[in-house]
Chain A
């Protein structure tokens, strides 16, 4: 095939047109052809969810801070943040001073903060509690994750675990119809060729792409051909994009930022990707918490802000939802090592063009504690349920095994 990409798309569309759009129509081709990237309502077919795991237990009390509450100063004699530096949300609450970018997103009506999130009888083991959050189940033994189960309702939707070195795939993605790949760089998503020369490479690529074009076959062969056409077109675009991807907002040079940039590239390539999972941490700050926590929050805030600005500038503002979670918050009262021990309820961040901006739910009381921990009033599965039903368009009842009242995280 010698035609350029535009012709390639046209001819592919011709082939696809013959047999209709139903059943796994190539998302990339259809989106490119229509050239309307933005979903106009939540739950539309091409929404994207980026989940950021804050590994180790993020200190929620020093993330969304009740700076006017006299109890706060008492509980955090050395770790308290100064009202002058806190990024005010209102006259009671504010964000940690490191969260400059997120404060801007709040101004931009793109940040929702759900306070007091947890689950009944909170477990204080990292592993157990992480399993609970990732499986969305309080059952003793779990083998499937909530996102893996959600993917059963999103057949054929590419999803990615964006890993750092040696990080294995999270439980959250287990149970998907096909294992979600863990990738580190764009290289992982390129059709590789062993060619004698550039001309040979082009020749081979042309053959591979041309034999993948559907010629009115039926059944499984047609399915394979359409999957392949879609894949090669996307891979080709990624190569182009990867070579000279110019972010629309500068990404800092941190591991989290480079992985979110990878997500942005994959989104912009139009693969039809729906889910991304990335872990950031370690937040397990038992001692000398202040510098570590500030640094991790800075990285989080800068990376997420860069990512959101980048994809928003590419027209995906209303298609993207970023969700952060941690396996638990930390003990209300700081410990003797200028750190904090494992706790329970904590806030979650949701970032996107369609979120209901601002605070959702009250800050948990600092006097009515439960074993020294903040009490949750919102079950994390209420947040999941809203995301599943309203954002991904997958039945939350099926994924979560029960009905949960939606947390009010989206614009109505």
Chain B
């Protein structure tokens, strides 16, 4: 570990592509790690296939997405149209969860979630499912593309115009909300601009209006005067301000460190030197976010023990890891509701800063709600999810019939076997002992056996390690 720490601080080593070796073998733990960070977890078959495929092929596949994306999008589109048409906020979040669960390109959804947290726009104020969907589409379209284009497009996104009051930003009476957050939260970070920069930049964003379901540019309300922003003077408009922001030294490191926390670690704080090569690459590439994601996911640091399990799973990750692992076919409306109780209400981040994440996800209530959700998903007795996520059916599918096989199966599926020997012994003990525990007289042998498997799976999901990403 000491070695890993020392080497991790060496940026050259950190960002070079990971090559399996004796100390860092391509094992099931690394496959699980990659699937957690770059997707929403994996099925047993996916884990085993990934192990065979090797890191390069698996990373490639995750970055490109599997086949059938266009067909999947076409299947999801009519649902979205209805959600927009009827301002159906409840199904809005369910719709996205269904995409996360079933998209052939989960990394795209995962990075879209990153952007949703970055631009942190909430239905609570926007009050339009159509506009929230529109912003989601924008985020997804550019998720792995050029950040510069995404940021440019965001200036006239209707949901954002409502969220940060851009529509009230008019010539002669500017509203600074968007200009401020653009610099503070979206591109530069606090301390890299002045109040005067914000005031001047706000003038450049004037003129966007919402008419019906469309955004139009009203030249009469646009302040086309000369502005000085971050040292540059001219008749700047919105695109100019975005360009000027992205010309700042602080932009690339700001985005890189945010993505680092999302993909690599919440607890291993990077030194500025560690991130410098990535920031340089990011800027030089014209803010190619896909390339940045690839570099991080392929790196030595990403696969090093130093950053393994150094994030707390978000509620979305926690629940989807379970459903994907169990190859569940659940309806996502109830799941979306449950996630709200766990602290992550999609399309309604708590503030303009998004979810704080990390340790703030877990406290005395949310942990309990997580366990109870895991039970609801796996017990087959919950009215919301029924038996559409049944661990017993899954164990049968993979022909895991003996006690030991079943214990090791679920430990491998959800934790890649990486738990203490004591925990495994306790589970084995339960599995053996549970044969002798009393059960209702009307249960068949099969009922009893299936119940034991479901309980076992639930117990695996309550292991503290499962909270870690």
Contact = CB atoms under 8 A, between A and B. Distances in A.
A368 interface: no
A230 B440 CA distance: 33
Given A156-B363, A211-B462, A181 B369 contact: yes
Contact of B463 (A204, A211, A219, A231): A211
B405 interface: no
A200 B434 contact: yes
A178 B361 contact: yes
Contacts of A273: 364
A166 interface: no
Interface stretch (A6-14, A140-148, A317-325, A404-412): A140-148
Contacts of A160: 365
Contact of B350 (A175, A227, A234): A175
Given A177-B356, A231-B368, A207 B468 contact: no
A18 interface: no
B12 interface: no
Contacts of B437: 196-197, 199-200, 203
A192 interface: yes
Contacts of B430: 203-204, 207
Contacts of B363: 156-158, 178, 227
Contacts of B375: 192-194
A179 B360 contact: no
A213 B165 CA distance: 49
A362 B125 CA distance: 39
Contact of A231 (B367, B376, B381, B448): B367
Q: Which of B124, B267, B350, B372 has the most CB of A within 10 A?
A: B350
B350 A200 contact: no
Contacts of B340: 179
Contacts of A234: 364
A191 B427 CA distance: 19
B345 A179 contact: yes
A179 B315 CA distance: 11
B436 to A, nearest CB: 9
A59 interface: no
B439 to A, nearest CB: 4
B364 A271 contact: yes
B433 interface: yes
A199 B367 contact: no
A211 B439 contact: no
Contacts of A181: 341, 365-366, 369
Interface string B321-364: 00000000000000000001111110000111001100111111
B379 interface: yes
A272 interface: yes
A169 to B, nearest CB: 9
A272 B433 CA distance: 36
Given A178-B363, A220-B312, A234-B364, A228 B464 contact: yes
B354 to A, nearest CB: 11
B362 A148 contact: no
B172 interface: no
A175 B353 CA distance: 9
Interface residue range, chain B: 35 or more
B153 to A, nearest CB: 23
A123 interface: no
A178 B462 contact: no
A194 B438 contact: no
A349 interface: no
B459 A207 contact: yes
Interface stretch (B20-28, B34-42, B68-76, B450-458): B450-458
Contacts of A224: 312, 362, 367, 464-465, 467-468
A58 interface: no
A203 B428 CA distance: 12
B4 interface: no
A272 to B, nearest CB: 7
A340 B15 CA distance: 69
A196 B448 contact: yes
A176 B350 contact: yes
A223 B359 contact: yes
B439 A200 contact: yes
Nearest to A160: B365
B122 interface: yes
A341 interface: no
A92 to B, nearest CB: 45
B190 interface: no
Contacts of A177: 356, 360
A143 B352 contact: yes
Contact of A143 (B124, B311, B365, B368): B124
B309 interface: yes
A175 to B, nearest CB: 5
Interface in A36-89: none
A191 B372 contact: yes
Given A143-B352, A189-B365, A231-B367, A204 B267 contact: no
A204 B437 CA distance: 11
Nearest to A238: B368
A327 interface: no
Interface centre among A178, A199, A200 (most CB of B within 10 A): A178
Contacts of B281: none
A155 interface: yes
Contact of B455 (A194, A235, A272): A194
B310 interface: yes
A268 interface: no
Contacts of A174: 124, 350-351
A36 to B, nearest CB: 21
- Which of B345, B355, B363, B465: most chain A Cβ within 10 A? B363
B177 interface: yes
A195 B340 CA distance: 27
A182 B369 CA distance: 12
A361 B52 CA distance: 76
Contacts of A288: none
Given A178-B343, A194-B458, A196-B448, 11 more contacts: A141-B177, A174-B350, A179-B341, A179-B342, A194-B455, A197-B439, A207-B426, A211-B464, A221-B309, A228-B367, A231-B368
Interface of A: 24, 28, 140-141, 143-144, 148, 155-158, 160, 174-179, 181-182, 189-197, 199-200, 203-204, 207-208, 210-212, 215, 219-221, 223-225, 227-228, 230-231, 234-235, 271-273
27 contacts: A28-B364, A141-B125, A156-B359, A156-B364, A158-B363, A158-B364, A178-B355, A178-B361, A178-B363, A179-B340, A181-B341, A182-B341, A194-B379, A194-B458, A200-B438, A200-B455, A207-B459, A208-B462, A211-B422, A211-B462, A215-B422, A219-B267, A223-B359, A223-B362, A224-B465, A230-B364, A231-B368
4 closest pairs, A vs B, by CB? A177-B360, A194-B379, A196-B439, A178-B343
Interface of B: 122, 124-125, 165, 177, 266-267, 309-312, 340-345, 350-352, 355-356, 359-369, 371-372, 375-376, 379, 381, 420, 422-423, 426-427, 430, 433-434, 437-440, 443, 448, 451, 454-455, 458-459, 462-465, 467-468
